Amino acid sequence: MTKAHIQASRTPAEIVEMPASVRVVPISQGRKPMVEISKLYKSYGPIEVLKGCDLVVERGEVVVICGPSGSGKSTLIKCVNGLERFDRGALVVDGVRVGERASDMTSLRARIGMVSQHFELYPHLTVLQNICLAQVHVLKRSKVEAQAKARALLARVGLPDKEGAYPAQLSGGQQQRVAIARALAMDPVAMLFDEPTSALDPEMIGEVLAVMLELARDGMTMIVVTHEMGFARKAADRVVFMDKGAIVETAPTQQFFDEPRAERAKLFLSRILSQ
Amino acid sequence: MTGLDFGVIQRALPFLLEGLALSFFLTAVAMLGGVILGLGLAVIRLSRWKALSILAAGYVNGFRAIPLVLVIFWFYFLVPLALGRSVSALQSVVIAFVLFEAAYYSEIFRAGLQSIRPGQWQAAYACGLGYFQTLRLVVLPQALRNMLPLMITQAVVLFQDTSLVYVISLRDFMTSASIVANRDNRLIETYLVAALVYFVICSIGAASASRLSARWRPA
């Protein structure tokens, strides 16, 4: 039985219960980092939203970015695939210099998956068509090939029977899992998650996190903006804490939770964990 | 007055149908041309190129500030001057209608495109789709659903406006009816039937518009 078969047969609950030990693909050493952010600045008019952020994400690494709202987390992650422009600094993603005219952003975006807070499935297309659209029009896969890929991914995110449904017929958690499948269909080298569970009802958060956790265990490079500290503990290699447009603390997960250094991070953690 | 005689309509039927055909032809061509040009104008207007965007806005606002009769007149005299050769009344009126309708359809497109959340653009870009792919595959199909009722309403207005071509002596349905009414001295019968024809055609248009907008409430 192949790995895909085993994954497809696992229920989300079982995935959550798996010990957080085994990582299928180790973090790569010696190769160029996936994302290199250096001295990134951005302002909306007089408001400075990024104040010189530095962050390096290695291949295979899972980084969780947290912090109070308005701290620039979403802006930072959207800069990584060029959905937001930045004013100053340098940003290299998978060898491509983001923000330079000559850079091929379209092909970079095809390699970097993104999942946003509000799912943003295409409402006029079925689930299957949603997952096939970019495969066919960007990667130029045949329709048959794209559909086979889509069906395999729908099984992987636990929605094998929803391919003919329209987004409006699905719950929020199901829509978000389809959105993850849509991003994975492009065979991304890295995935960006922008508050993937913050628009979901509490009972649906678990099913989305389970899919993300499995992805992390498979060795996907991930940058996740989230307040789900349980997910951070289980999946993240490092946690980045942002406040008022600056990266205040970057620490290995264990260290971040056990002994956060920045005062602001301590306060944030005590508030969010007491909830 | 010696009672109504609708026989006049029957005798003049081929003549009236010819006029109706021109009305339909003008509506169809003006709509098709107006939609294509209007989409282009809307895309330019919403684009990042400031200068082009201002030009497009000027075009749209300019045409919308001028009565259609005046536009028809102008083009009748201006197009031959601009081209340096004579042009048939029909050709000049087709150009006038297309350019005029483009201004109105452009506003419908602009509202339609703006009705789609920015997140849809971002989601498509994030998958590697380009601007025109996103427009064609993701945004326009959704926008068209929101826009279709308005587009049909605009076509109904346009159909009525084709009667204005009488000013340059083209014979649309209304003009044909006028000619028959005066020639046979049957004003009441002819104009009654003319009104009925416009009423039925435009009602069908309006009804289909409201049915579509009821069926396609955004999800």
Q: Is residue B16 part of a domain?
A: yes
Residue type at A39 in one-letter notation: K
Chain A residues touching residue B142 (CB < 8 angstroms)? 122-124
For residue A274, give both structure tokens.
Answer: 């007491």
Partners of A114 in the β-ladder: A192
Cβ contacts of residue A165 below 8 Å, gap of 6+?
A126, A127
C-alpha–C-alpha distance, residues B52 and B47, integer Å: 8
CB contact under 8 A, B117 and A120: yes
Q: Is residue B1 part of a domain?
A: no
Select the residue of A107, A122, A124 nearest B128 (Cβ to Cβ): A107
Question: Touching check for A270 and chain B: CB below 8 Å?
Answer: no
Select the residue of A78, A121, A134 nearest B128 (Cβ to Cβ): A134
DSSP A9-44: HS-HHHHHHS-S---SSPPPSSSPPSEEEEEEEEEE
A residues 185-224 lying closer than 8 A (beta carbon) to B = 186
Q: What is the largest CA-CA distance in chain A?
A: 58
Residue type at B61 in one-letter notation: N
**Model pLDDT, residue A6:** 39
**Model pLDDT, residue B145:** 87
| Conformation bin of residue B74: beta by default, left when phi > 0, alpha when psi is -120 to 50 | alpha
Task: Please tell me the distance in Å from B143's CA to the nearest CA on chain A.
Answer: 10
Q: Is the dihedral of CA A25, A31, A34, A38 positive or negative?
A: positive
The two beta strands, A35-44 and A246-252, are: unpaired
Q: Is residue B76 part of a domain?
A: yes
Judged on CB neighbours under 10 Å (0-12, 13-18, 19+), A10 is: middle
Residue span of the structural domain in which B210 resides: 7-215
Q: Is residue B2 part of a domain?
A: no
Residue A235: count other Cβ atoms within 10 Å of its Cβ.
Answer: 22
Identify the three-state secondary structure at position A55: strand
Question: What's the number of domains chain B is made of?
Answer: 1
Q: Is residue B185 part of a domain?
A: yes
Task: Please tell me the distance in Å from B216's CA to the nearest CA on chain A.
Answer: 11
Chain A residues touching residue B118 (CB < 8 angstroms)? none
Select the residue of A107, A114, A118 nearest B126 (Cβ to Cβ): A114
Chain-centroid distance of CA B216 in Å reads: 23
Alpha-carbon distances, residue A180 vs A62, A126, A174, A176, A265 (angstroms)? 16, 15, 10, 6, 29
Residue A49: count other Cβ atoms within 10 Å of its Cβ.
Answer: 19
Q: Is residue B71 part of a domain?
A: yes
Q: Is residue B195 part of a domain?
A: yes
Identify the three-state secondary structure at position A264: helix
Going residue by residue through chain B (219 aa), what tens digit of pLDDT does each one get? 457 778 888 888 888 999 999 999 999 999 999 999 999 999 999 988 999 999 999 999 999 999 999 999 988 988 888 888 888 889 899 999 999 999 999 999 999 999 999 999 999 999 999 999 999 999 999 999 889 889 999 999 999 999 998 888 888 899 899 898 888 888 888 899 999 999 999 999 889 888 887 776 544
The interaxial angle of helices A127-137 and A143-156, nearest 10 deg, is: 130
CB contact under 8 A, B122 and A166: no
Residue A69: which pLDDT band, with cuts at 50, 70 and 90? confident
State the virtual CA torsion across B159, B165, B170, B175 in degrees, nearest 10.
70
Q: What b/e readout covers A103-113, taking b as 16+ CB neighbours within 10 angstroms?
A: bebbebbbbbb
**Model pLDDT, residue A30:** 57
Q: Is residue B65 part of a domain?
A: yes
Residue A135: closest CA among chain B residues belongs to which residue?
Answer: B127
Q: Indicate the pTM of the whole model.
A: 0.83
Whether the CB-CB separation of A163 and A126 falls below 8 Å is answered with: yes
Q: What is the CATH number of the domain that holds B172?
A: 1.10.3720.10
